[in-house]
Amino acid sequence: MSDGTYTQGLVVYEKGEILRSDFRGITQNEIDNLPTAIQALGPYFVVRDETDFVTSQSVGKSVTSILIGIAIDDGYIQSLDQPASDFINEWQNDNRANITIRKLLNMRSGLESFGGSSILDLISLEDTTTTCIDRQLRGDDSFSYLNCDTQVLGEIIERSTGLDLKEFADDNLFSILGINAFWWKDPTGNYISYAGVDMTMSEYLVLGQLFLDENQSIVSTDYLNQIYTGYGSEEGSDIYSLGFWFFNNHFQMRGLDGQIVAINFDENIILLRNSLYLAPFTERVVDMDAVPFAVAPITLPEAVGGSGAWDFSTFIDLLYVNETDTTGPLITELDVISQNVTDNTLVFDVGDTEKTIRLRWRLQDQSGIAFVTPFGNSRILLARTDGGSGGTKSWDLDSLQSERVSGDSTDGYYEKDIDLMATEHPSGEFSISLRQIGDLEGNITTMEIEDGYALTIINNSN
């Protein structure tokens, strides 16, 4: 996770395995580039790990959509095409009476905007829900991305079920998935249904698995199909359906500053990314005092090819490598720096049973994504090259089991200690090499040094 991206968490899940789970705090360079008003908060983000809550931003809209689906499945709401005015009685006797729940979910309510789509448009309000309900029609029902439409949906859930939004979510979603979430409120006590759902990234992964695994015990296949088929239809926009985004074959929950829960159904992959979270208020109750601290830069990482705030499909594509991809980082140097080795020779004297050598190599990876090989597909190999017996010894290698001792993830030196047993290595000439021996589930596509590092072993231990 390159400096300057503000990325604090990245998880890649494929076919039942977590391929990558990385977390980091904010760097001094990133602190220096924040607005002056929030630089003082930098120390709160120096250390981040998998136990920290991350906030949803507009991923909360997708969570609210899931809750609408559950409310329909349980009979609290008749259907997506039920008029919202059946619950929002303030709309029953005017031209808002025919706005459906589907139109609110698809951002096609036809209601006027309150400022725009940013969380800051509403964050300073005393009573968010009343403000959103009181909006009038703007004249057409074209797509318009508005936080207020989802805020009204949260109120529909509360009025239809008789429970507040958090209670309904806890009883029917979070507790079933083992999620312990915190949901923001405004000063009046309204839950912020368009954003502000805090949980760990592991818990957001579980939420993504709900769709990848099609967990019908929580939300029906019928509702999921409504999400998928609405994409690209007249009811949805070309990229938005019922609170979810679609790009190419990537199904996404996403929010401000690059909060992402993205699913690729073809590849059976879930990607999660969390960006800098700057909520300074302990209780996370939204009020005017929070406004100067609530903004972080738009942070789609340029280091992995992002060119704009919405170009998430490019970001996702670069986090895993297709078999036809021939690019990738290269191992450019290899050396043994152990004191046990002199003139490329390691001697096992009488009585020696084990000696440790330290291998150092240089990895140049302009994508800035650390290499991970969870299935041991990349190895350090010590192979006999003099034609004698002794065979080959290998050690698994990846960035989690090796130490970067200098540089950064784009160009750095790594080290790993290797224990050599005298009983396993007869005298002879060996070659230490780094190589890929299978399909690498990660970012590296070229990882082999043909000649390796020559090592002669003289074994006098017997």
Strand partners, 334: 361
Percent of the chain, pLDDT > 70? Answer: 66
Q: Give the model's pLDDT for residue 442.
A: 44
Q: Is 49 helix (H, G, I), strand (E, B) or coil?
A: coil
Which range among 50-59, 107-116, 247-256, 282-291 shows the weakest confidence by mean pLDDT?
A: 282-291
d(CA 414, CA 404): 4
Encoded amino acid at 370, one letter: A
Strand partners, 430: 384, 455
Mark residue 153 as left, alpha or beta (left: phi above 0; alpha: psi -120 to 50; beta: remaining). Answer: alpha
Q: Give the model's pLDDT for residue 380.
A: 66
Q: Give the model's pLDDT for residue 295.
A: 31
Q: Give the model's pLDDT for residue 201.
A: 87
Structure confidence by residue, pLDDT tens digits, 386-445: 666 566 676 766 555 677 788 877 778 888 888 888 988 888 888 887 765 444 444 444
447 or 164, greater pLDDT: 164
Structure confidence by residue, pLDDT tens digits, 344-357: 999 999 989 999 99
Q: Answer yes or no: is pLDDT of 455 > 70.
A: yes
Q: Give the model's pLDDT for residue 161.
A: 97
Structure confidence by residue, pLDDT tens digits, 163-216: 999 999 999 999 999 999 888 888 888 998 998 888 888 899 999 998 888 767
Q: Answer yes or no: is pLDDT of 307 > 50.
A: no
Q: Give the model's pLDDT for residue 111.
A: 92
Which range among 29-43, 214-228, 411-425 shows the weakest confidence by mean pLDDT?
A: 29-43
Is residue 312 very low, low, confident or very high in pLDDT (cuts 50, 70, 90)? very low
Strand partners, 458: 347
Indicate the helix (H) or strand (E) that contains 347: strand 345-348
- Number of alpha helices (DSSP H) and beta strands (DSSP E) in the chain: 11, 19
User: What length is written for the chain?
Assistant: 462
CB distance 275 to 299 below 8 Å: yes
Structure confidence by residue, pLDDT tens digits, 322-339: 333 434 456 778 888 898
In the numeric block, the tokens 């290998």 are attached to 394
Percent of the chain, pLDDT > 90? Answer: 26
Q: Is 16 helix (H, G, I), strand (E, B) or coil?
A: coil
Q: Give the model's pLDDT for residue 236.
A: 41
Q: Give the model's pLDDT for residue 227.
A: 87
Tell me how crowded residue 446 is: count the other CB atoms within 10 A of its CB.
12
CB distance 403 to 415 below 8 Å: yes
Structure confidence by residue, pLDDT tens digits, 242-289: 998 876 557 788 887 678 888 888 778 888 888 765 443 333 333 333
Q: Answer yes or no: is pLDDT of 155 > 90.
A: yes
CA 14 to chain centre: 13
Q: Which CATH class for the 7-317 domain? A: alpha beta
Is residue 373 very low, low, confident or very high in pLDDT (cuts 50, 70, 90)? very low
| CATH no. for 330-459 | 2.70.50
CB environment 64-94: b (16+ within 10 A), e (fewer):
bbbbbbbbbbeebbeebebbbbbbbeebeee
Q: Answer yes or no: is pLDDT of 447 > 70.
A: no
CA dist list (Å): 45 to 27, 49, 57, 237: 9, 10, 18, 37
Q: Answer yes or no: is pLDDT of 45 > 50.
A: yes
What is the pTM assigned to this prediction? 0.62
255 or 97, greater pLDDT: 97
385 or 367, greater pLDDT: 385
Q: What does the domain layout of the chain look like in residue ranges? A: 7-317, 330-459
Q: Give the model's pLDDT for residue 290.
A: 32
CB distance 446 to 453 below 8 Å: no
285 or 452, greater pLDDT: 452
Q: Answer yes or no: is pLDDT of 308 > 70.
A: no
Residue 456 backbone dihedrals phi, psi, to 5 degrees: -100, 130
d(CA 410, CA 3): 10
Q: Give the model's pLDDT for residue 278.
A: 47
d(CA 409, CA 11): 17
Same fold, 7-317 and 330-459: no
Q: Give the model's pLDDT for residue 285.
A: 35
